Structure formats: C-alpha cells, structure tokens
Amino acid sequence: MFTNYTLIQLNGKPFNCLPNLSLKDILLYLDFDLDLVIIEYNSEILNDSILENILPVTGDKVEVLTIVGGG
C-alpha cells in the first residue's frame, strides 16, 4: 500500500505528514504545548484558534517559537 505524504519544512527541517492532518494535529503529535508557542506559517504569525483549520500542503514552512520565561 502506497501512502502519499505532505512534505513541509518544520523549523527548517523536512517533515512528512499525512495530508489530512491539520496544523494543530501535527503540533500536538509533536508534543508542543500550544499555550507556550508562537506559530509562524509561511511567514505569517498565526492565532492559535485557526490552527485546526489549516491543512498544510507540500512546500509550506512552519516555524514553532517556544516562549521561555526567565528572570
């Protein structure tokens, strides 16, 4: 059985995912805490409320920026 994958760039590295996964599904699969990250998708900062509506396509670029506290 042959599976088509979507190839995106995630934090500068190639990442294969199933084509029916939303951006939110991918980030949760990778164990990101969505309350502690900022998502840049194709050079646009996204509001986390729309992540489940975005289905990445081959060639898309995703950067996940983690918020770190300090003192």
pLDDT 10s digit of each residue in the chain, 71 long?
667 999 999 999 999 999 999 999 999 999 999 999 999 999 999 998 999 999 999 999 999 998 887 76
b/e sequence 54-70, b meaning 16+ C-beta within 10 Å: bebeeebebbbeeeeee
> Taking the complete model, does pTM exceed 0.85, yes or no?
yes
Query: Cβ atoms within 10 A of the Cβ of 41, count?
Result: 18
Fold type of domain 6-66: Ubiquitin-like (UB roll) (3.10.20)
Contact yes or no for 59/7 (Cβ under 8 A): yes
Question: Which among 36, 41, 45 has a CA at the least distance from the CA of 55?
Answer: 41
